[in-house]
Amino acid sequence: MKKKHIVAMTIICTVAAGCGQKTAETPEPKKEVVPAIELSNMDTEINPAEDFFRFVNNEWLKNNPIPEEYSTYGAFTEIDQHNELLIQDIIDEVSQDTTAQQGSVAQKIRDFYNAGMDTVAIDERGYSELMPYFEMIDNLNDKTQLAELLGKLHSEGIGGFFGAGGSPDPKNAEMVIMHLYQGGLSLTDRDDYLVEESQEMRDKYVEHVAKMFELTGTEPEAAADKAKRILALETKLATNSMTRVERRDPDKTYNMRTLVELQKTTPNFDWNTYFKNAGAPMIESLNVGMPDFMAAMDKIILNTDLNTLKDYLRWKVIHGSASMLSSDLDAENFSFYGNYLYGQEVQQPRWRRILDATSGCLGEAIGQLYVEKHFPAEAKERMLNLVGNLRIALGERIKNLDWMSEETKAKALVKLDAFNVKIGYPDKWKDYSKYEVTPDSYFENVHRAIRFENEREMAKIGKPVDKEEWFMTPQTVNAYYSPEMNEIVFPAAILQPPFFNMDADDAVNYGGIGVVIGHEMTHGFDDQGCKYDEKGNLNNWWTEEDAAKFAERTQQLVKLFDEFNVRGYQINGQLTLGENIADLGGLNVAWDAYQMTDEAKANQSIDGYTPAQRFFISYGTIWRNNSRDKYIERQVKTDVHSPAEARVNRTLGSMPHFYEAFDIPEGTNMYIAPEERATIW
């Protein structure tokens, strides 16, 4: 379980779905020169016009079956694995340093990791560390005390009913304000509670909840009864929750209210008490992401008996802590969430999970050591150059759009010009001096980290946005665009092959990291990003006519993805729209930027492939991925990113230069008739 604090209302558009899972294999850190294109991964027996994804990756797919401790395995996971070895080295070095001063970063990393690995002590404690929380819940005598209790639990990272946190005001992106958002569910999506086809999942969930209660001291019969009532309560919350597609509309989730107004719509929940106990500063107004949900929650609390509310909170304590407790609870938690939901056969080895947790709680402390050793200064320079070229290319594309008025174009260019770019690592590192880590309790170390983060987050509310802050650590293999900061961010860890290869030809780098850069830039102009202006404010800068044309074009992309399935799992074109716009835009922008290079002008083939072909092969390579059916099933329901295969085989169908590069004839699988292709940016 990730315990990292996430500013839930900040929309961060990443290039990939989260990949926090690790493998037991311990490949040697790669130091050799990596070929620009690994020809042995391709399968030239496969016609690129029929299945480009497998033409590029089939041998890799065959030679890289999903390790049993993974549910999905691809280029992102490969780098992640490699990175873990580097981080493990850093931690090993730090762990052996017995002279590390008390309070130093080295001492914190060492003690956090070692306490997490001490399964003997953890097993001995069982669930005893939950007792103070159970006591707090037992002491709840009537519902008026719920606000106080919930505030305390939330400040400890224990969920329930809703979430609260600070992030920029979408209409005044210079300032951090308080946001409230729906929450309280324990399955992966509201539909899991509501649709017929998820009945088996709900049955298994009830069994799992009951089992977790049994493991924490409840008699089987009472445990089964609690589990059923918890499902019923969560189902009511789910019924009143916005769907993932609805939540993608930032206008719908922006609802400023004074505290007095909020209180009127939720008369049974005392917000002042809640905020005080959650560690929030005094506030007069806030953004209520889902006002209908809040009003419904108030009534649900009113109409639910006190014992069920207490059981629900007790469940949230157990559920949120499972990975920090004894092996019986940890294993039961994995068997439902890892094995049943995602098809992962065995759990990741403990060292990887603790490494991950250390990287979660002390992310920038490790990040600082990581970049000192593993991030060459030349990489940053090369990236800045690439970003500069991509920016020029996107600017030219905007100027040449045949469907947009000059008026809107001018505003789009202002926004593009204002993009802030962050590469590698933050200029200013997070200060962990107030975070105390001790060698004796893993559970306490994690909880202190949560409290430390909660305090840090709450302290931001009512203050100007810190523009230097990063929302990913340097060792994260990913990238993001933040509409409220109007910035694109590329952590050091993604600047490695197959995304970025210092020894590769430009075609390969533009088809890899170039597309990733273009992807993040395009997020500034996707169906969400386009609603924010150059300052990060939710502020419509489009003429009505252009907005209508944009919507029409994006609906074409929705249709193309709605029609596409991966192994029978239907993609939701609306849910994945922003990412699909970004992929298509990223390809086009990176292509244009590549055309400006000397290498593209020279047009010399390498390994028997033209530069244009190498550009697309590189794009196909970054999405090489094997996933279990269950993973794909969850992904199409919950992830804004389309499955990797679709990101290649569907997106390329709307990319004109792909047709030229591989001579794609009508009637093949990859072919989309010109009038049906999506052309947006």
Binding site for Zn ion (CB under 5 A): 13, 15, 579, 582
Q: How far apart are CA 420 and CA 283, in angstroms?
A: 30
CA 274/CA 492 separation, integer angstroms: 39
Q: How many CA atoms lie within 13 A of 105 on its CB side?
A: 17
Q: Which is nearer to Zn ion, 206 or 515 (CB)?
A: 515
Q: Check: CB of residue 251 under 8 Å from CB of residue 142.
A: no
Closer residue to Zn ion, CB minimum distance, 183 or 511: 511
Tell me the two tokens of residue 485. Answer: 């900061």
Query: Considering the complex, what minimum distance in angstroms separates the CB of residue 278 from Zn ion?
Result: 31
d(CA 583, CA 645): 13
Contact 642, 516 (CB under 8 A): no
| Residues 496 and 430: beta-carbon distance below 8 Å | no
Q: Closest CB to Zn ion among 11 and 231?
A: 11
Cβ atoms within 10 Å of 517's Cβ, excluding its own: 30
Nearest residue (CB) to Zn ion, 14 versus 501: 14
CB of residue 479 to Zn ion, shortest distance in Å: 8
Task: Report the DSSP pairing between strands 565-566 and 625-627.
Answer: unpaired
Q: How far is the CB of 26 from Zn ion (least distance, A)?
A: 31
For Zn ion, give the closer residue by CB, 156 or 579: 579
Minimum CB separation from Zn ion for residue 14, in Å?
A: 5
- Least CB distance from residue 681 to Zn ion, whole Å? 14
**Pair of tokens at residue 596:** 């400006």
- Smallest gap, in angstroms, from Cβ of residue 542 to Zn ion? 21
In the complex, minimum distance from the CB of residue 44 to Zn ion, in angstroms, rounded to a whole number: 31
Which CB, 13 or 227, lies closer to Zn ion? 13
Q: CA of 429: how far to CAs of 323, 357, 458, 531, 637, in Å?
A: 28, 19, 19, 31, 36
**Shortest distance in whole angstroms from residue 526 CB to Zn ion:** 8
Beta strands in 183-340 (DSSP E): 256-258, 285-288
CB closer to Zn ion, 412 vs 488: 488
Q: Which long-range contacts (CB under 8 A, 24 or more apart) does 207-212 make?
A: 208/332, 208/335, 208/336, 208/340, 209/315, 211/332, 212/315, 212/318, 212/319, 212/322, 212/329, 212/332, 212/333
| Residue 98 identity | T
Q: How far is the CB of 521 from Zn ion (least distance, A)?
A: 11
Q: Which residue, 15 or 75, has its beta carbon nearer to Zn ion? A: 15
Q: How far is the CB of 9 from Zn ion (least distance, A)?
A: 18
The least CB distance from residue 579 to Zn ion, in Å, is: 5
User: Residue 438 burial (CB < 10 Å; 0-12/13-18/19+)?
Assistant: middle
C-alpha pair distances (Å), 295 with each of 131, 262, 298: 32, 9, 5
Amino acid sitting at position 166: G
Q: Would you list the DSSP string of 578-618?
A: HHHHHHHHHHHHHHHHHHTSHHHHHT--BTTB-HHHHHHHH
Tell me whether residue 84 or residue 579 sits nearer to Zn ion (CB atom): 579
Nearer to Zn ion, 297 or 517 (CB): 517
How near is the Cβ of 395 to Zn ion at its closest, in Å? 20
Q: How far is the CB of 54 from Zn ion (least distance, A)?
A: 24
Considering beta carbons, is residue 84 or 520 the nearer one to Zn ion? 520
For 25, other C-beta atoms within 10 Å of its C-beta total: 9
In terms of CB distance, is 151 or 578 closer to Zn ion? 578
Q: H/E element holding 626?
A: strand 625-627
Any idea what DSSP says for residue 338?
Answer: I
Nearer to Zn ion, 15 or 122 (CB): 15
Q: If we measure between CA atoms, which residue out of 200, 220, 198, 199 comes closest to residue 209?
A: 220
- Give me 363's structure tokens: 């992310």
Report d(CA 108, CA 116) in Å as an integer: 12
CB closest to Zn ion, residue no: 13
Closer CB to Zn ion, 13 or 212, in the complex: 13
User: E strand or H helix at 424, and its extent?
Assistant: strand 420-424
Smallest distance from the beta carbon of 585 to Zn ion, in angstroms?
10
Phi, psi (degrees; rounded to nearest 5) at 574: -75, -40
